Amino acid sequence: MYDLLLTYREQLVYSLAVVILLLVIQFVLKKAANKVGKRSEINITRTRLMFKYINILIFLIAAFLLSFAWGVGIAELSLIFSSVFAIIGVALFAIWSILSNITSGIIMFFSFPYKIGDTIKIHDKDMPIEAEIEDIKAFHLHLRTSDGELITYPNNLILQKAVSLIEVHGRYDEGKDAL
């Protein structure tokens, strides 16, 4: 065991440093997302969704950096990443709307001026909608009309259409979980 530690000492130290650094970066990013969420009165579930995105980003960076530490060369690493990105690229091209909705959900987390409980009007020439925002998910909004109809509206479309705030009501303390 001691021989193993001596043989891979440099890789182990580098790996430990990378893990500690990435944990610190993850902590800082989560604190920043939490602070933005509280300052903007964003629902805690949406803040937790940002935490998942941060975890995925940190994991990808860790895999990349640790592969260098353990002797994977640039040529092998570029082959692996180009193959993975080619497969992902083909898959994402086939499901581009899902990716655009996720991206829109991230944009809405930081800059969407409307909150859960607000009544909005979406100015769409084909189907104008006036409804209360019931929930904001990663892919879509849940809107409740005055007739009680539930409408799921894609996040990417809400950023493309003109939206008016009709009434601010029904807001609750979005920064705390309900018991």
Q: What is the pLDDT of residues 69-94, one digit of tens each?
A: 887 777 887 888 788 878 877 776 76
The contacts of residue 30 (CB under 8 Å, 6+ apart) are 51, 54
Q: pLDDT at position 107, please?
A: 85
Let me know whether 35 and 119 are in one domain: no
Residue 154, domain CATH: 2.30.30.60
Radius of gyration in angstroms for the set of CA atoms belonging to the chain, rounded to a whole number: 22
- Check if the beta carbon of residue 94 is closer than 8 Å to that of residue 137: no
Let me know whether 6 and 90 are in one domain: yes
Let me know whether 126 and 59 are in one domain: no
Let me know whether 78 and 145 are in one domain: no
Which whole number is the average pLDDT over 125-147?
89
- Check pLDDT > 90 for residue 23: yes
Domain that holds residue 87: 2-94
Structurally, the chain folds into a number of domains equal to 2
Let me know whether 56 and 137 are in one domain: no
Final residue belonging to a domain, choices 64, 94, 124: 94
Q: pLDDT at position 178, please?
A: 42
Let me know whether 69 and 39 are in one domain: yes
Within a domain: 63: yes
Residue of 153 and 167 predicted with greater confidence: 153
Let me know whether 85 and 127 are in one domain: no
pTM of the predicted model, to two decimals?
0.53
Q: pLDDT at position 171, please?
A: 52
Percent of the chain with pLDDT over 70: 92
Let me know whether 12 and 87 are in one domain: yes
Spatial separation of the C-alpha atoms in residues 135 and 116, rounded to whole Å: 6
How do strand 162-167 and strand 150-154 relate by DSSP bridges?
A: unpaired
Let me know whether 61 and 13 are in one domain: yes
Q: pLDDT at position 174, please?
A: 47
Among 52, 46, 47, which Cα is nearest to 139's?
Answer: 46
| E strand segments, 61-161 | 119-123, 129-136, 140-145, 150-154
Spatial separation of the C-alpha atoms in residues 144 and 157, rounded to whole Å: 17
Within a domain: 156: yes
64 exposure class (CB count in 10 Å sphere: 0-12, 13-18, 19+): middle
Final residue belonging to a domain, choices 94, 124, 158: 94
- Check pLDDT > 50 for residue 177: no
Within a domain: 174: no
Within a domain: 99: no
Within a domain: 151: yes
Averaged confidence pLDDT in the chain: 83
- In single-letter form, the type of residue at position 99 comes to L
Let me know whether 13 and 86 are in one domain: yes
pLDDT tens digits, one per residue of 39-68:
887 778 888 888 988 999 899 889 888 888
